[in-house]
Amino acid sequence: QLQLQESGPGLVKPSETLSLTCTVSGDSMTSGNYYWDWIRQSPGKGLEWIGNIYNSGTTYYNPSLKSRVAISLDSSKNQISLKMSSVTAADTAVYYCARRQQWPSYSDHWGQGTQVTVSS
């Protein structure tokens, strides 16, 4: 059974870099034609796609966040990582990782999410 688990600091100071990890268990991340997404949810902006990475390492980012975001894949650990720089209070949200089918491109497995608060 595929499971995704996000982890990382729950509190980040303004202007610093947010770093999260998503660990996948139950299958190898590189065994199929999947994308691995980061999505966040906040009361103000709802569900917002941040970006994703394919098992080849190719990445795609939301244009609105592209300048501040980097996603990477560590296949040896079955993990993906998210780094978001220069955070502000507007980046406070629950952050999810999810598996996306290549096509049709829906997300069929999600992690439970991790709350990140940006505050001094």
Partner 1 sequence: EILMTQSPATLSVSPGERVTLSCRASQSVSRNVAWYQQKPGQAPRLLIYDRSTRATGIPARFSGSGSATDSTLTISSLQSEDFAVYYCQQYNDWPLYTFGQGTKLEIK
Binding site for partner 1 (CB under 8 A): 35, 46-49, 52, 60, 62-63, 96, 98, 104-108, 110-113
Question: How many angstroms separate the CA atoms of 107 and 94, rounded?
Answer: 17
CA distance 58 to 72: 9
What minimum distance in Å lies between the beta carbon of 102 and partner 1? Answer: 10
Give the integer Cα–Cα distance in Å for 93 and 45. Answer: 9
Q: Which is nearer to partner 1, 10 or 104 (CB)?
A: 104
- Identity of the residue, 16 or 54, whose beta carbon is nearer to partner 1 in the bound complex: 54
CB of 71 to partner 1, least distance (A): 12
Angle made by CA atoms 49, 19, 82, in degrees to the nearest 5: 40
